[in-house]
Amino acid sequence: MWEGIAHMPKVRVAGFGVSLDGFSAGTEQSLRDPLGRRGPELFQWFFHTKTFCAMHGGEGGSLDVDDEFARRAMEGFGAFILGRNMFGPVRGEWPDESWRGWWGENPPYHADTFVLTHYERPPLVMEGGTTFHFVTGGIEEALRLAKQAAGEKDVKIGGGVSTVRQYLQAGLIDSLHFALSPVVLGRGEALFAGLDLAGLGFSVVSRTNSDKATHFLLAKG
């Protein structure tokens, strides 16, 4: 009886690292520290996985609980949305078009990827199927374009912290996967400050432990 029922595309956050004290990025992002100082500590669960190694053109890596969540955090998406800071360290107006992202010529998205910015820039076509589109019309405009591009696949809100918070506050996210890492950052970009996830309709639907993180899935309903 279920034949012919199309997948209802979702807007998801997945593979998002959080410290025990609620930070999802370190301070002072720079070319040297793309995730901010101490930011990489939030992703120790991710760096050892087969999924991460494959994303960066390498072989090996673990096949375990963390890898399962890492793989699911990149699969099934037809479009991605990133904040300006997630795309790079350049601030203000684009001085030129030389900055092409953190990931080299073949970024790991392999789909249309929409970058939130206040400053116009032509689309950037990369290897492997990724095209960066620079959206100046705000989060709802970016989501409209991303849904069009994704078709029947999901849209991933890839980060950073400010972008995820804006989409949460606007009630535009359907599900969340947080990887809670056993580290205390003390300072950085706070993910949950001022957010009422229960009031937004979210509850925890599963919790899975690994050696390096606890994976929480939250959904509305």
**The pLDDT value given to residue 6:** 57
Please write the tens of the pLDDT for every residue from 103-137. Answer: 999 999 999 999 999 999 999 999 999 999 999 99
**The pLDDT value given to residue 221:** 78
Please write the tens of the pLDDT for every residue from 88-98. Answer: 999 999 999 99
- In contact, 177 and 73? CB cutoff 8 Å: yes
Q: 111-143: string of b/e by CB count within 10 Å (b at 16+)?
A: bbbbbbbeeebeebebeeebebbbbeeebeebb
Domains of the chain, with CATH numbers?
A: 13-25+36-88+106-220 (3.40.430.10)
DSSP lists the bridge partners of residue 80 as: 113, 156
What stretches of the chain adopt beta strand conformation (E)? Answer: 11-19, 77-82, 112-116, 124-125, 131-135, 154-159, 175-181, 202-209, 214-220
- In contact, 53 and 60? CB cutoff 8 Å: yes
**Mean pLDDT split into 10-residue runs, the chain, 221 residues:** 64 97 90 87 96 88 96 96 94 94 93 97 97 98 98 96 97 98 95 96 98 97 78
Structure tokens at 38: 């101490």
**The pLDDT value given to residue 2:** 46
